[in-house]
Amino acid sequence: MTQRLILTGDPAHDDALIRQAAAIIRAGGLVAFPTETVYGLGADAFNPVAVRRIFEAKRRPAWDPLIVHVVSVEQMRQVARELPPKAEGLIQRFMPGPLTLILPRAERVSNLITAGRDTVAVRMPAHPVAQALIRYSETPIAAPSANRFGRPSPTSADHVLHDLEGEIDAVLDGGETPVGVESTIVDLTTTPPTLLRPGGVPLEALEEVLGQLRLFSELVPEGQPLPSPGTSPRHYAPQVPVLLCAPEPAVLYGAVRDALALYGLVGVMTPTGWNLPEDGRVIRFEWGAWGDWEGLAQRLFEGLRWLEAQQVHAIVCPLPPPEGLGRALRDRLERAAHSER
C-alpha cells in the first residue's frame, strides 16, 4: 500500500506529515516527494538495503547511478570527498536550486548509488518540502525521479502513483512542481567542466560563473559508452511515438495533417493560438505561449502524460530552439522521440 500524504501549504498542518515521511525514510522505506524540478523517489542514502529498493520499485537498471539530495554544504561534505574550487561559485549562485554537481565521491557512499563510479551526483533542492524531509530524516536522501524507468518524469503526485502505486511506501503530495524539468547536471571532475544534462538552470547562467563548458552532446558519438547513463538516447518517453517538427504554425499544421493520415488519432502539444486542422481525431493539449520556455517546461511532462492517457496513436510537438530552458525542452523531446521501439 502506498500512503498519499496530502500537504496544504500550511506548515502547522504539513509538518506532522513530513515528519511521518521522515520516519519512513529512517526506517529504510521509500518516499516520493516534490522538489522544484520533478518528484523524487527517496531513500536513506546511507542505507544500502533501502537504496536497492529504489532500483526495484522503478525497474531501474543497476548501472544507472542516483543523485544524493542534501540540505546544506556540510551535508554535501559527507558524500563528496572534496569540493573542487569551481564548486564554490556554483553553490553560491545556484544552490539550493535545480543544479546537480558530479563530485569525487566520499568513501561512505555505496557503490549502489554511484553504480561503481568514483564520482557522486549531489543536489540541494530548493523546494521547502524536500528540504524539510531531508532535515527531519537527518540523512542525505538518494533519489532518482519518481517514475518507472524510461517514462516521463512525474510533476505531480498523480503521476507518481500512476507509475509506482503499491511499489513505494508513501508519496508527499505537494501539488505540481514549479520547474517541471529535471536539474541541470554539471561534471566538475573534468577540465573544463562538462554539461551532462541541460535542465532547470540554463547553460547561459552557468557560463556566467564557469566560463566555457564542454557540452556532453558534442562528446559522445552514437553507440559509445555514456558518462551519464540517464543521457541514453531513449528516455522520458510516453508509450506512443513522438513526432517533432520545426517551430512554425504552418509546419505544425502540416505535420498534424500528415500524422492523421498515418496514425488516425493524434495528440498535439499546442502552443497558444496556433491553428490545427479541423478534425475530430486531433486532440490538443494547450501547452502555453510559444517563447515562454519556463511555462512550457513546467507543463511538458504533464502534456505528454495527458495525451498518452487520451490513447492517441502519436504525439506531434514543435521543437523549441536551444536557448534558456528551451535547451532542456529540446533534450527531453529528442529523447522521447528517439525510436528504438
Interface contacts to ligand TXA, rule CB under 6 A: 35, 37-38, 40, 64-67, 98, 100, 102, 114, 117, 119-121, 123, 143-145, 182-183, 185, 196, 227-231
117 is in the binding site of which of ligand TXA, Mg ion, none (Cβ under 5 to 8 A by kind)? ligand TXA
- The footprint of Mg ion (CB under 5 A) covers 145
Nearer to ligand TXA by Cβ, of 307 and 328: the residue is: 328
- Long-range (24+ apart) CB contacts under 8 A made by 227-230 are 227/187, 227/194, 227/196, 228/102, 228/185, 228/187, 228/196, 228/197, 229/63, 229/64, 229/65, 229/115, 230/64, 230/197
The residue nearest Mg ion at its CB is 145
CB of 158 to Mg ion, least distance (A): 17
For residue 60, CA distances in Å to 115, 156, 229, 263 come to 12, 20, 11, 31
38 is in the binding site of which of Mg ion, ligand TXA, none (Cβ under 5 to 8 A by kind)? ligand TXA
CB of 159 to ligand TXA, least distance (A): 12
CB of 257 to Mg ion, least distance (A): 34
- For residues 142 and 31, give the distance between their C-alpha atoms in angstroms, rounded to a whole number: 11
The residue nearest ligand TXA at its CB is 230
Nearer to ligand TXA by Cβ, of 40 and 198: the residue is: 40
- For residues 91 and 148, give the distance between their C-alpha atoms in angstroms, rounded to a whole number: 30
CB of 314 to Mg ion, least distance (A): 23
Nearer to Mg ion by Cβ, of 145 and 177: the residue is: 145
CB of 84 to Mg ion, least distance (A): 25
- For residues 133 and 135, give the distance between their C-alpha atoms in angstroms, rounded to a whole number: 5
Nearer to ligand TXA by Cβ, of 120 and 260: the residue is: 120
Contacts of 197 (CB under 8 A, 6+ apart): 100, 182, 183, 184, 185, 216, 228, 230, 231, 331
